[in-house]
Amino acid sequence: MQYNRSSTLFVGVDVHKDTHTAVGVSPFGEKLFELTVGNYEKDFKVLVDRAQTVAHSSGLSPYFGLEDCQGFGERLAQFLAHDGQLVVHVPAIMVDRDRKRMIHPEKNDSLDAKGVAQVMIQRIDTLPSYIVSKESELAKNIRELSQDREYLVKERIRVKNQLHGVLHRIFNTEYTKLFKDPFSLKALKHWKSARPKSVNPFLLRTMKRKVKRLLDIREEISELEEELKNLIAESGHTLQTASGCGTVLAGELIGEIGDIARFKNPAQLAKYAGCAPREHSSGKTVRWRKTRAGNRRLNRAFHRMALSQISRMGNVKAREYFKKKVSEGKSKSQALVCLRRHMVTLVWNLMKHKDAYRFPQEI
């Protein structure tokens, strides 16, 4: 998107479930207007009209930025995009960092909205634009399915740990000898129909309740994975053709990246994912360090993909590249970081061109 910073009205919006607070700031940081609206289309029109009126009287053009953490601003962002307005997403952590640097770090909706606008003034070139497309909508659906599955997996772990204790109280250590995996489908069906003698009825009911929940979670996860597989196929992406990148991992990558058009090159995607090293140089000493910034869920997905590439069932060329970096003097952890950065480039190309996966002969 093309714009002139010196002639832009930066409109920061602090998004909530029922209301949105907007503050318009000039390129020099001067507050020009403040408005709180509801979460309805008629309210969105009021916001746009106010912003355009103030922008016109000041000889500026409006540019909207949303601090949206939980998806409450999706309707507003879609309305603005369909209306032809320029819209970017502003990470809440950027606003929070600037607030903490203040002498009196106070917080309210008005200050948060102004903070969003100030972040836009300083870092507008690095903020991801909001894009309305079929690919972005599919990516949102894939992300929701992926997150739902992740929540169920965490719940399954908690229920398993609880069932471990109950089984030990009922059967002592003997239950570990009956099945290699006490939580396999065969084992769960056995626990569900088990009628041990001289057992506290309360413990028996507790065991059956935990087993029933595990069976339900197992079925729900299977349904989510099937729907996830269908959505990925509908999107046309080919990430699942990569070594060690199945439906679940591909869903995480596509869901967190969204529309690949947001990133002009692999370097932008690497920075967004926190896979780009941060320079820490001084004088003649040039250093590069890992960073904890960026989308950590996406960073984790790239890390898992890199690990799968060097596994026994992974990719020969990837293992050779990893060993090459180790032979150059890098630690295994540093070599894995290099490989992870290369995974970013591969994923960007796969999503951009939707080609089948192929690890290059030379890197």
At CB < 8 A and 24+ separation, what contacts does 135-141 make?
135/235, 135/258, 135/259, 135/260, 135/261, 136/258, 136/259, 138/231, 138/234, 138/235, 139/235, 139/254, 139/255, 139/257, 139/258, 139/259, 140/255, 140/258, 141/231
301 has a pLDDT exceeding 80: yes
Of 25-39, 208-222, 238-252, the poorest mean pLDDT is in: 238-252
Q: 94: which residues sit within 8 A by CB, 6+ positions away?
A: 119, 123
pLDDT at 200: 87
Mean predicted confidence (pLDDT) in 286-299? 80
Mean predicted confidence (pLDDT) in 225-237? 93
pLDDT interval class at 263 (50, 70, 90): confident
pLDDT at 362: 46
Q: How far is it, in rounded angstroms, from Cα 251 to Cα 228?
A: 7
Write out pLDDT tens, residues 52-68.
Answer: 999 999 999 999 999 87
Q: How far is it, in rounded angstroms, from Cα 296 to Cα 274?
A: 7
The mean pLDDT value of the chain amounts to 88
CATH 3.30.420.10 fits 5-132, yes or no: yes
CA atoms within 13 A on the CB side of 58: 23
Percent of the chain whose predicted confidence (pLDDT) is above 70: 97
Domain boundaries, the chain: 5-132, 135-235, 239-353
361 has a pLDDT exceeding 50: no
Mean predicted confidence (pLDDT) in 100-112? 84
